[in-house]
Amino acid sequence: MDRWAVIDAYFRDETLVSQQIESYNQFVNETIPEIIEENQVIDPEVGDFQIELKGVHIEKPMATEIDGSVRRLYPMEARIRDRNYMASIYLDMVAIRRGVELQRARMRIGELPVMVKSDLCWLKGLSPKELIDLGEDPLDFGGYFIINGKEKILVALDEAAPNKVFVSKENRSNISAVATIYSTRGMYKGRTRVERRNDGIWIAHFPLAPRNLKWIVLLRALGFTDDQEILDAFLGEKEVLNDALLNLEASEIKTEEEAIDYIGKYVAPGQIKDYRLRRAQEVIDNYLLPHIGTSPEDRKAKGYFLIRMAERTSEAAYGLRPFDDKDHLANKRVELSGKLMETLFRFAFRALVKDIRFQVERALARRKKLRLNTVVRPNAFTEAIMYGMSTGTWPNRRTGVAQNMNRLNFIAPIYMARRVNSPLSKRRKNFEAREVHGTHFGRFCPIQTPEGVSAGLIKYLALTAKVTTASDAGKMDRLLKKLGVKPVIG
């Protein structure tokens, strides 16, 4: 078999930066409408006034001259004139007061950086001759941004897979196994842990929870008051069932209200019982496994998930299953430009919503007539976006995400577009994370990495490696239901 024929066929359809462009296109076409839908209603705390967001519209980059004329803005002009290659974002807004519609308008909320050769770029689909006429290199793959005339590229990040359980062994003498999950919902990312002590007791940890919270107490707070229901949820290994029985016998709390009040005494100390109960329920709904849901109806599903986590710690402790390898690529995700822009967009959009709410409250306090063009300030959104793109500092305190693109030769920009950084500290040894893993074969280059403190933490994708974009989880749910799989809840 001629291997070069296969490679030629691959590069006829793919480029070395196509995964970056596909990720950005998915962000623009799918993720932005989802973020707008999540924040569909802006409801200030004063007055009977609210703003509903009905849809989003993104224009391609345009240039407005001093005389007011508007025309297309191409990448080469943005480079030469030190301009931003950005697209204007418009939201369809409806102002409502006491259930009556006051105004409906399409408002400009700010600008979004446009990736060269993406769906929003004027260069997409042009022939080599048309690109040359516009002053562009027909061999340029794109995949970068132009901010203040400088070419910027978003460096991919190598992260632990979100919403996935990892079972590991820690260096503490009283803990035999730990199940950890980084539950992610929108911008929020919280860690939930279930630890198995040597005596078989399970301890649960999640943000704002009391220290050394027994797993069975948290399960009671989620509505599991029937011991037989808990035992039936386990898969039936004798050793695991023994641990479950041990935890049931060790708990003095038997009702849901007692368990919620126990948590409430830690999250709202010194408060009356009704407030403690309400505050504890809010903490459980919003901070415990938020990727499953944040409503009271999702508590049962969270309980079953915690049972699976506890079960896996016991299986690992008894040698019934191996501990998970954190360096295995199946347990990692590469965050491309689309995911990185999603984080920045969520932060900027949250700043915009906060500013709109403030402007509405101020106008109501001054008894002014409310108009959408007076409460929507595009600068609030654009400034947050520009700060991240200009400095490379992302909202989650990561630095060096957006970097100036290297144009020393033809390979240099491609080299940067296929670079993958690890978030681990370069000052620590982290020998296992720096070593070449068996799953890197065909995916990461085993040779190319910097010398010194960055060795093994900065990697580069192999030539024919491609990072896939996220898929719709709803399609998988519908497929499973079509195949006859029945949900545990509902």
Q: Given CA atoms 165, 166, 171, 176 in this order, what sign does their dihedral have?
A: positive
| Residue spans of the chain under pLDDT 70 | 1, 47, 489-490
The tokens for 388 are 């991240």
The CATH classification of domain 3-159+332-460, taken from the options 1.20.120.160, 3.40.50.300, 3.90.1100.10, 3.40.50.11930: 3.90.1100.10
Which residues, at least 6 apart from 180, have a Cβ–Cβ distance to it below 8 Å?
165, 166, 167, 168, 191, 192, 193
* Residue 34 CB partners (closer than 8 Å, separation 6+): none
DSSP tag of 254: -
CATH number of 170-322: 3.90.1110.10
Cα angle: 155, vertex 413, 471; to 5 degrees: 45
Longest dimension (CA), the chain: 80
Instruction: Give me the pLDDT at residue 1, please.
Output: 61
Degrees (nearest 5) of the Cα angle 169, 173, 178?
Answer: 30
How many residues in the chain?
Answer: 490
Question: How far is it, in rounded angstroms, from Cα 82 to Cα 140?
Answer: 20
The first and second tokens of residue 215, run together, are 């797993």
Structure tokens at 91: 């939201």
Q: What pLDDT, in 10s, does the model give residues 96-124?
A: 888 888 888 899 999 999 999 999 999 99
* Strand partners of residue 334: 158
Sorted by where each begins, the domain ranges of the chain are 3-159+332-460, 170-322
Check residue 172 and give its pLDDT.
83
Are 119 and 25 in contact by the 8 Å Cβ rule? The answer is yes
The amino acid at 269: P
Please give the pLDDT value at position 373: 83
pLDDT, tens only, 64-98: 888 888 899 999 999 999 999 999 999 999 888 88
Q: Is 332 helix (H, G, I), strand (E, B) or coil?
A: strand
Q: What is the dihedral of CA 82, 85, 87, 88, to 10 degrees?
A: -10
The DSSP bridge pattern shows strands 150-154 and 145-147 to be: antiparallel
Q: Residue 457 in contact with residue 426, Cβ under 8 Å?
A: yes
Interval 285-337: pLDDT, tens: 999 999 998 899 999 999 999 999 999 999 999 999 999 998 999 899 999 99
